[in-house]
Structure 1
Amino acid sequence: MATARSKPSESNRGTRELLIDAAEREIAHKGLEALTMKDLAKEVGIKTPSIYAHFAGRDDILRAIADRYVAALSVQFPDDGGDPLDTILAGVRSLVIYFASHPAHVRLKLRDLETPGGRPELSAAAGGEASSNLNEGPLRDFFARIEGLLHRGHEIGQIRRVSVVEFYRICFGVTLLSLTWPTQGIFTSQQDSAEISRILPFAETAIRSFLVR
């Protein structure tokens, strides 16, 4: 039987957000499986039982992180009606910077990709399994914007015909691998500006080469 998610009130929102922030730091440094309520309480400076005033349990905390991730992803690749290719590449740069600043979300996405059916908390936050996210749920408009950009770019002869699924695969593959391989410094400290400046042109060039053939 599914456990009802706890509902934050106005009075406890501050501590709740601090707990999510702390959980993201713990995950960034140690991984999803290493997150414990005891370590989280110590990080925030409260007693372990106090966490349950804000969350039903560990899974509820992971769901809150997944909610943050989905909310942030849903506004990526904004389309202001300008040049399609320029808009797409600007979106790629924004995505790299976002992931570089949120290493816990990188870990969550990587674990989601390797889990049959996806991570349950991420599937719940996105409104269903990956195959359904294209047409429904909070990521529907995100995928629709990308699809519109790809279509416009192809219509004016800027880029070859590419499906939104193909683009998503290459974009996230390039972005996540650029940040995590061959080093995994993103998980122990935020990428400095010099490292991000190195990654950005690589990601942009890779996506441009994929689209323009």
Structure 2
Amino acid sequence: MAIQQRRERQRAERHRLILDTAREIAETEGWDAVTTRRLAERIEYSQPVLYSHFAGKDEIVAAVALEGFGELTASLRADGADPSARLAAVAHGYLRFAADHPAVYAAMFTMDTALTFADAESPEPLRVAFEVLREAVGGHGAEPDLESRTELFWSTLHGLATLTAANRLRPTHAEQRLSLLITQLTT
């Protein structure tokens, strides 16, 4: 039994090493620099070993995206009695996460993956992240269409994150834009 446990532990460690290395390369050089050959060289395992964990780069990107949703959810958690302050804290957490982890954010939202969104079959990390956003938006009384308002909040945050990362928005007006968004959702 000890040999089997050691093998499982080693496999989990290799799995983690593959994901960590992919993230590191993507964050420093972009996702185009992440190839199975480069990963295999970097982690000092053969490509067949890498393929025993992931069928290819797309599965690695999807795994990074799922981890990213868990991390995003943690950065969105906001406590407090004031619903507007809670909504603002969630918005700040979202934008901070996108700015601090651009490659992970790209894996989550802009790269092609087989992950399903807005569906009962969506993976749990996606559903939980959306639920945190919905709770923040829903803190303002009875909402006639909470799901759509949450999608609007999410898509606006995504637009702000994407346009900010591409230097398409005036950086000096970031707080003003966020304040306007919160006002629109809370009035």
Q: Distance in 1 between matches of 2:14 and 2:58?
A: 17
- Higher mean alpha-carbon deviation, 49-58 vs 62-71, is at 49-58
Matched with 1:89 is 88
Q: Which residue of 1 aligns with 2:137?
A: 150
Residue 15 of structure 1: CA displacement? Answer: 2.2
Which residue of structure 2 aligns with residue 210 of structure 1? 181
- Please give the alpha-carbon distance, in whole angstroms, between the structure 2 residues aligned to 1:111 and 1:102: 13
Shift of 1:212: 1.3
The within-5 A match list for 1:6-45 is 9-45=8-44
User: Please, which of 125, 150, 160 is the counterpart of residue 174 of structure 1?
Assistant: 160
Q: 1:95 to 1:38 in 2, by over 3 A?
A: same
Deviations 1:77-110 (A, max 9, x none): 3243521111122222222332233221132245
1:132 paired residue among 119, 131, 139? 119
* Distance in structure 1 (CA, Å) of the matches to 2:10 and 2:166: 38
Partner of 1:188: none
1:128-162: per-residue Cα shift (whole Å, max 9, x none)? 2x3327x965233433333333233367xxxxxx8
Q: Which runs of 5+ in 2 are unaligned?
A: 1-6, 143-147
C-alpha separation between the residues in 2 aligned to 1:43 and 1:182?
35
**Higher relative helix content:** 2
1:4 equivalent in structure 2: none
User: Deviation at 1:32?
Assistant: 3.4
Q: Shift in Å at residue 167 of structure 1? A: 0.7
Q: Distance in 1 between matches of 2:110 and 2:131?
A: 25
Q: Would you say the 8 A contact 1:27–1:107 is kept in 2?
A: no
Equivalence map 1:102-113=2 (5 Å): 102-109=101-108, 111-112=110-111
Partner residue, 1:120: 113
2:9 partner SS: coil
Provide Cα deviations, 1:35-89, integer angstroms capped at 9, x if missing partner: 3111112222333333234333333322221221222234443243521111122
Q: TM-score, normalised by structure 2?
A: 0.72
For residue 77 of structure 2, give the secondary structure of its aligned residue in structure 1. coil
C-alpha contact (below 8 Å) 1:31/1:107 kept by paired residues? no
2:87·2:182 contact (CA, 8 Å) conserved in 1?
no
| Alpha carbons 2:40, 2:46 under 8 Å: kept | yes
Separation in 2, partners of 1:136, 1:110: 14
| % identity of equivalent residues | 22
- Paired with 1:169 and 1:24, the residues of 2 have a C-alpha distance of 24
CA distance in 1, matches of 2:77, 2:51: 37
Residue in structure 2 matched with residue 64 of structure 1 by the alignment = 63
Aligned to 2:151: 165
Note closer, same or farther for the CA distance 1:175–1:69 as it changes in structure 2 (3 Å cut).
same
